[in-house]
């Protein structure tokens, strides 16, 4: 007794003598191939591309930072001598540092009449402020000119990721050269922790921030005007998280199978309808002739 495994063939073949090729069927077949190729390339592009998903949650993401945030500041004061420019830092934990000089550099501008201050320092994760002023100068000038341009103010690691448009340097390009020379400037910052995780699981910790500012003339207890550029900051409890993701391979294969099967099914229905209508029309014409 022999057993024919061909009984289990669910893909039965239609005999060639029962099939009838038509120009319409050929046209539909070509259109199907072009359409499937287009959908396949679209899905392949989507599968290769990286998707960035963002979410919000309440937490301190960088717990290994020791409660510190790195700050990078680059500011130009074209009408204030470098000997007068200083950075002061203070916060609610009792820190009060006047004339911070670590990891900082002063570059003379306008033949020594101005100064560009570049500095990198750290602040505690508590409300506080840092400000550029003449407070640390040996002798206070009579009329310090605090007009300025902020080139950069950034917190945490630098993120240069495509498709992530965040306010990581919201004050970059701020121009106050037309302001009152003796005015103080207050920049009120709300710092938002930001985490970026790539496909390999590596995390980078940065901070975005929103800013509001005001300008005013401040007098000391002696009646003198001592202007400064203040950056007052507070931290948001909300963390923004960006995660790189890629479409799973099984979903890509499922979509490709759906494209092929669906295209052939729809094309077969269209071809069958056209063929049936064509045959019916031919019979009507033959009936009229007879």
Q: Average pLDDT in the 110-125 region?
A: 94
Three-state secondary structure call for residue 127: coil
| Comparison of pLDDT for 273 and 161, the residue scoring more | 273
Of the candidates 179, 174, 172, 118, the one whose C-alpha atom is nearest the C-alpha of residue 147 is: 179
Whole-model pTM: value is 0.71
How does pLDDT run across 4-32, given as a tens digit for each residue? 666 666 666 666 655 667 777 778 778 88
The domain segmentation of the chain, as residue ranges, is: 5-49+247-286, 59-237
What was the pLDDT predicted at 3?
62
Share above pLDDT 70 across residues of the chain, in percent, rounded to a whole number: 90
pLDDT band with cut points at 50, 70 and 90 for residue 79: very high
Of the candidates 224, 144, 213, the one whose C-alpha atom is nearest the C-alpha of residue 176 is: 213
Q: Is the pLDDT of residue 93 over 60?
A: yes
What whole-number distance in Å separates Cα of residue 242 and Cα of residue 159?
11
What was the pLDDT predicted at 69?
93
Residue 90 bridge partners (DSSP):
96, 129
Pairing assessment for the beta strands 149-156 and 238-245 based on DSSP bridges = unpaired
Per-residue tokens: 217: 């003339």
Of the candidates 106, 100, 98, 101, the one whose C-alpha atom is nearest the C-alpha of residue 82 is: 106
Residues whose CB is less than 8 angstroms from the CB of residue 234 and which lie 6 or more positions away in sequence, other chains included: 127, 189, 190, 191
- C-alpha 226, offset from chain centre: 40
Of the candidates 209, 204, 215, the one whose C-alpha atom is nearest the C-alpha of residue 172 is: 209
Q: Is the pLDDT of residue 142 over 80?
A: yes
Pairing assessment for the beta strands 238-245 and 184-197 based on DSSP bridges = parallel
How does pLDDT run across 32-55, given as a tens digit for each residue? 888 888 888 888 887 777 777 778
How does pLDDT run across 173-227, given as a tens digit for each residue? 999 999 999 999 999 999 999 998 888 888 888 999 999 999 999 887 777 888 9
């Amino acid at each position: 007794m022999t057993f024919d495994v061909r009984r289990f063939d669910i893909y039965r073949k239609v005999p060639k003598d029962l099939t009838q090729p038509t120009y319409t069927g050929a046209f539909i077949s070509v259109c199907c191939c072009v359409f499937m190729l287009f959908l396949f390339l679209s899905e392949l592009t989507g599968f290769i591309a990286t998707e960035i998903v963002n979410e919000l949650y309440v937490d301190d993401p960088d717990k290994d930072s020791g409660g510190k945030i790195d700050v990078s500041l680059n500011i130009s004061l074209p009408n204030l001598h470098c000997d007068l420019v200083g950075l002061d830092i203070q916060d609610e934990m009792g820190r009060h540092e006047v004339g911070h000089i670590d990891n900082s550099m002063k570059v003379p501008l306008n033949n020594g009449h101005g100064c560009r201050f570049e500095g990198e320092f750290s602040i505690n994760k508590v409300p506080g402020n840092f400000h550029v002023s003449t407070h640390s100068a040996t002798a206070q000038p009579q009329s310090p000119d605090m007009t300025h341009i902020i080139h950069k103010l950034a917190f945490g690691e630098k993120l240069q990721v495509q498709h992530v448009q965040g306010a990581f340097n919201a004050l970059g390009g701020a121009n106050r050269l037309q302001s009152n020379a003796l005015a103080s400037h207050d920049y009120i910052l709300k710092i938002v922790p930001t985490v970026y995780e790539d496909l390999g699981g590596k995390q980078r910790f940065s901070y975005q921030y929103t800013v509001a500012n005001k300008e005013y003339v401040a007098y000391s207890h002696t009646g003198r005007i001592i202007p400064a550029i203040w950056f007052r900051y507070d931290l948001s409890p909300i963390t923004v998280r960006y995660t790189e993701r890629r479409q799973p391979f099984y979903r890509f294969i499922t979509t490709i199978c759906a494209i092929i099967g669906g295209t052939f099914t729809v094309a077969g229905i269209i071809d069958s309808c056209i063929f049936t209508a064509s045959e019916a029309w031919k019979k009507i014409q033959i009936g009229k002739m007879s």
